Amino acid sequence: MNNRVISLAHGSGGRLTQELIEEIIYPAFGNNGGNPLLDSALLTIDYKKIAFTTDSFVVSPLFFEGGDIGKLAACGTINDLAVCGATPLYISVGLIIEEGFSVELLKKILRSLASAAGDAGVLVVTGDTKVVERGNADGIYINTAGIGVLPQDVRVGPEMIEPGDLIFISGAVGDHGMSVLTKREGLSYQIPVASDCAPLNSLIKSLLETSGIKCMKDPTRGGLATALVELAEQSKTLMEISEERIPIRQTVSLGCDLLGLDPLYLANEGNLLIIAKADKESEIAAVLDNHPLGKEAKLIGRVVSYRDKGMVLLETPLGVKRILTMLEGEQLPRIC
């Protein structure tokens, strides 16, 4: 890492975040058996396979179309457990609240967190509360940690990915990122788009029943492009994606044109990237179609071959292929 200080881009979920984890954070703790870039740690305790994860939420604004920091804090941790194939069971809630924060808003956020956890069948079982001086936090930050159990027969992860596998995305791309950006920046024009923030565990449970799932990832910070490149690099494969098949709402696409952003790099919070066995295409498509979170799902590409340095090629609507890269730094809105 070349930087002397941490910049916002180190938290953007892209290449710099990966560098920070691999070069600074992971070496500090040594290799304890986990893969630092997976969404959860997979542990064995008394012959039981457990998934364990933690996530912190610092979103601004706290409330946006389609969700709020409470819902996000529940869904984020539930999804990190579920994409590893685990059944999420319990979460903790750590609150860091800024002095002066409205109790009414706090209640609203906690109700929303509880309701999202309840919908997902997950219990909030422990927590912690700290209050910091005015100016030392942006209203409220939430940390959640979660535990889930891994069914014995479930094996999913980047190491399972092979040439021939299919690549699906469960919903339209970039809704969460655009929704938050619209609200955060108080754009003078309205881009009517709601965050996709949702717990994915019930969709994932149905998908696992097809026994055709190889690997899953929720493309949060860094967006679909970054998630795909991560998986290609971890599985040492070449993937090909068709840009035309990627579902993107027109409002998101227009907003991106206006702001000079690329929807493939916008965050999603209730969207699932699925790598699946080629012979299970119709079963998986049917499961997606029958689930409320999978109605807009699309088969967007496939795994082509093994490749030492994993790579993703994107076929553009003109029919030519270019290399898809991870997000570098932050996406910044442009001038004209």
Partner 1 sequence: MNSTDSKIMVGRLIDNISNYFQDKTVNIMEVCGTHTHVIGKSGLRQLLPENIRLVSGPGCPVCVTHDWEIDAYLGLAKTKDIIITTFGDLMRVPGSNGSLIQARQEGAEVEVVYSPLEALSIAQANPLKEVVFLGVGFETTSPGVAISIIKAKQNKIDNFSVFPMHKVVVPALEALLIDPEIKIDGFILPGHVSTIIGCEPYEFISVVHGKSGVITGFEPIDILQGISMILEQINRGVSEIEIQYLSGVVPKGNSSAREAVNRVFKPESAWWRGLGYLPESGLGVREAYSSYDAKAKFGVNIIKKELSHNNSICACGDIIKGKKTPDQCMLFRSACTPSSPVGPCMVSSEGTCAAYYYYEAYREDVYE
Kindly identify the residues of this chain, within the stretch 169-188, that bind partner 1 according to CB under 8 A.
185-188
Whose Cβ is closer to partner 1: residue 9's or residue 288's? 9
Q: What is the dihedral of CA 25, 30, 34, 36, to 10 degrees?
A: 20
DSSP-derived secondary structure letter, 23: I
Closest among 23, 37, 21 to 159, alpha carbons compared: 37
Residues 8-47 that bind partner 1 (CB under 8 A): 8-9, 14-16
Nearer Cβ to partner 1, position 232 or 274?
232
Per the CB < 8 A criterion, the answer to whether 336 and 235 are in contact is: no
Binding residues for partner 1, rule CB under 8 A, total 37
The reply to whether 336 sits near partner 1 by the rule CB under 8 A is: yes
* Best CA proximity match to 220, nearest among 275, 295, 291, 271: 271
Which has the closest alpha carbon to 312: 233, 213, 203, 207? Answer: 233
Alpha helices (H) along 156-242: 175-184, 201-208, 223-235
Query: In this complex, which beta carbon is closest to partner 1, that of residue 103 or of residue 336?
Result: 336
CA distance 277 to 133: 52
Per DSSP bridges, beta strands 63-64 and 48-57 are unpaired
From the list 3, 44, 126, 282, which residue makes contact with partner 1 (rule: CB under 8 A)?
A: 3
Q: Does 320 bind partner 1 (CB under 8 A)?
A: yes
In the complex, the smallest distance separating the C-beta of residue 8 from partner 1, rounded to whole angstroms, is 7
Stretch that binds partner 1, among 26-34, 109-117, 151-159, 312-320 (CB under 8 A): 312-320
Q: Nearest approach, Cβ of 154 to partner 1 (angstroms)? A: 34
Burial of 106 (0-12, 13-18, 19+ CB in 10 A): middle
Q: Does 311 bind partner 1 (CB under 8 A)?
A: yes
Contact status: 331 vs partner 1 (CB under 8 A): yes
Q: From CA 101, how far away is CA 157, in angstroms rounded?
A: 41
Q: Which of 22, 23, 138, 262 binds partner 1 (CB under 8 A)?
A: 262
What are residue 52's phi and psi, to 5 degrees?
-135, 135
Measured from the CB of residue 322, what is the shortest distance to partner 1 in angstroms?
A: 4
As measured in angstroms, the least distance from the Cβ of 334 to partner 1 is: 5
CB of 76 to partner 1, least distance (A): 24
Q: List interacting residues with partner 1 (CB under 8 A).
A: 2-3, 5, 7-9, 14-16, 185-188, 244, 259-262, 309, 311, 316-323, 325, 328-329, 331-336
